[in-house]
Structure 1
Amino acid sequence: MTFSRRPLWLYPLFQIPLILLGIFLATALLFWLFGIGRPNVAVAIGLDLSTSTYAPQEFNAPGTVMSQEVAAVRSYLDINDRLLRQPNQVQVFGFGGVTISLTGDFQTDSQKINAELTQALQDPNLPQSVANESTDINLAIQSGINALSQISDRCREFLLVTDGGAPVSAEIIANARSQRVKINTVIIGGESLELRAAAFATRGNYHTTASNNLETLFTERLFTSFNSNLKWIIFWLGAAWIALMWTLVLPLDRWLFQNIMQMPINLAGQLALGNAFFWTAATPGIIIGIYRLLNLSGLPFFSSC
């Protein structure tokens, strides 16, 4: 490979990759700043209303685990309404031995959901309706999956909040995977290996927390996770890395390999191009590996969830 001694920036092999590098970096920045590429999401939230979440106090009494569960849901609804141009569709369930819907069907109107939730919690028959002397986590998860399976145009997230744990049947996990429902679990004041396994098997989140941290967890971790466009940002940064490697072809050839390392012109050119071709081929695999490490599924062009 032979070059004249014109400045590097006069060559198309330097100019074109440099322009693409700027475009890809600017695109990644715009996606990060403005939340472009966020998925449309439907969230079913299952709240544990069994006696262990409020006894020995009254049902949903201030300061109980149950009241903090409800406060966390209200905080989620608040930022859902304020921060997203296309808010999540949300439906809230309550469960003990029985699972019932505390709000209407999936909807984006946070004020309406809040009002329906308040009305449901004020029903004096609610503790008996959910059979609050027992807890059936499998039924709660299956109810969430059944509801989400009716949503065809959004990512499907089921969020279970409980202060206990129980084995989750393999059939329910398989059903969640077939319906593309992610099971996200929040354990209050303990651990549950079974619920952690269910979350990981469906690419969901698993968290343990104290009840007084629920609002922060809902708004800063779960909301961010459900509505993340991180896949797009990683994709554009990967494209920028490839463009950078091609931008460096002439600097590596002329300055490093020829001038500093005193390599023959042909060998220097081959090494510089080889470096660019290597990273062009390797970067997609690295991006997919990062997606798997961060529990993200699929390239953003094919799957936003």
Structure 2
Amino acid sequence: MPLYPNQGFWRYGIFQIFAILTALFLVLALLTSQLVLFQELVTVQIALDLSSSTYEKTQVFRGPGTIMQQEIDAVKAYVAKNATLRTPNLLSVSGFANRVIPITGQFTHNPQDISRSIDQVVQPVLASQIGGQTNINLAVENGLSQLKTKSGRCSQLLVITDGEFKLAEPTVNQARNNGVKLNFLIVGQPVTPQILNWANQTGGIALNATPENISQLLTNKVFNRFNQSPFTPWFLGLGFISFMWMLLLPLDRFLLKVLRTRPDVSGVIALYNAIFWTVVTPLFLVFAVGNPLVRC
């Protein structure tokens, strides 16, 4: 038997209720993504590559148009956007080459303090102090050490580099064990499967960048990833489930009238379709996104 009498399915309560729920969950998903509702407390350690390759184009430390200057401009843009959040990220910035030097003295969300620290510390005299090579493993180890001081928050470590990538497996394991997500912005170099694997192991991301789009990536993809509400994908999932139940009667009618399915079969197929997605969608979200009630 079909699931409804032979009249407009939109006139029935089961369709109307799930249509309202679908709209409600989609609105909640939009609000949590755009207004960053239910935002997690986030701490971000940014490691900037200041090696000689980041200014080899002009041979001028922090010269106009160099990768180094593009990195700095991008970080300042991120800091400015971060200040607009209801609960801004706590940020700390370091620079690295052969050695690692702190740029900001402490974690802060004050854009003026961070910009002032960058302008004061990242000066040509720094080149002789930190060397010209790229020790990414040391930069990550230093970042993990800094993030240990800010427990109880979602920890993100972002490395921006154009250098050859070498990272020790124990360092990656330490990040994973400490709950720190490793994120890499690779300028002018491909994101290798190994780099992507290191990021994925810790729940981070790895992106390829050009000198011209570092700022765009940092203030959009990276910023949104760090500050996405964990509830957004769940509201989308609940909206999808509601939509499947909203389609219960339309699907039954389609099977019955268009595909000429037997009346005693069409309703069962429509019902099982809704039940299937009701079970599968939460399972997918748990494995792909995680529990939104658990930090990070």
TM-score of the superposed pair, with normalisation by structure 1? 0.83
- DSSP 3-state at the match of 1:211: coil
Letter in 1 for 2:182: I
- Say which of 62, 65, 74 aligns to 1:63: 65
Partner of 1:272: 270
With 89-98 and 12-21 compared, the bigger mean Cα shift is at 12-21
Taking a change above 3 Å as real, the CA distance of residues 86 and 8 of structure 1, as seen in their structure-2 partners, is same
Alignment of 1:131-142 (within 5 A): 132-142=131-141
2:4/2:249 contact within 8 Å kept: no
TM-score of the superposed pair, with normalisation by structure 2? 0.85
Partner of 1:294: none
Taking a change above 3 Å as real, the CA distance of residues 12 and 104 of structure 1, as seen in their structure-2 partners, is same
Aligned length: 293
1:189 aligned onto 2:188: yes
Partner of 2:96: 95
Partner of 1:127: 127
Taking a change above 3 Å as real, the CA distance of residues 189 and 243 of structure 1, as seen in their structure-2 partners, is closer
Offset from partner CA, 1:220-269 (integer Å, 9 cap, x none): 2222222223x53332222122222223334444x345555666655444
Within 2, Cα distance between the matches of 1:242 and 1:53? 49
- DSSP 3-state at the match of 1:90: strand
- DSSP 3-state at the match of 1:85: coil
2:191/2:207 contact within 8 Å kept: no
Offset from partner CA, 1:50-77 (integer Å, 9 cap, x none): 2232246333233322222212211111
Offset from partner CA, 1:8-52 (integer Å, 9 cap, x none): 566543443333223223322333442323433211111122223
Taking a change above 3 Å as real, the CA distance of residues 188 and 242 of structure 1, as seen in their structure-2 partners, is closer
Q: CA deviation at 1:190?
A: 2.3
- DSSP 3-state at the match of 1:159: strand
Measured on the aligned residues, the alpha-carbon RMSD in Å equals 2.8
Alignment of 1:38-77 (within 5 A): 38-55=39-56, 57-77=59-79
Within 1, Cα distance between the matches of 2:79 and 2:154? 17
Within 1, Cα distance between the matches of 2:257 and 2:187? 63
Taking a change above 3 Å as real, the CA distance of residues 267 and 210 of structure 1, as seen in their structure-2 partners, is closer
Partner of 1:160: 159
2:191/2:206 contact within 8 Å kept: no
- Kindly indicate whether structure 1 or structure 2 has the higher relative contact order, using CA contacts under 8 Å at least 6 residues apart: 2
Taking a change above 3 Å as real, the CA distance of residues 74 and 177 of structure 1, as seen in their structure-2 partners, is same
1:298 aligned onto 2:290: yes
Letter in 2 for 1:113: I
1:167/1:195 contact within 8 Å kept: no
Within 2, Cα distance between the matches of 1:68 and 1:263? 62
Within 2, Cα distance between the matches of 1:213 and 1:181? 26
Partner of 1:213: 213
Q: Could you tell me which runs of 5 or more consecutive residues in structure 1 were left unpaired when the two chains were aligned.
A: 292-296
- DSSP 3-state at the match of 2:233: helix
Letter in 2 for 1:70: I
1:46/1:94 contact within 8 Å kept: yes
With 97-106 and 14-23 compared, the bigger mean Cα shift is at 14-23
Identity of aligned residues (%): 35
2:144/2:157 contact within 8 Å kept: yes
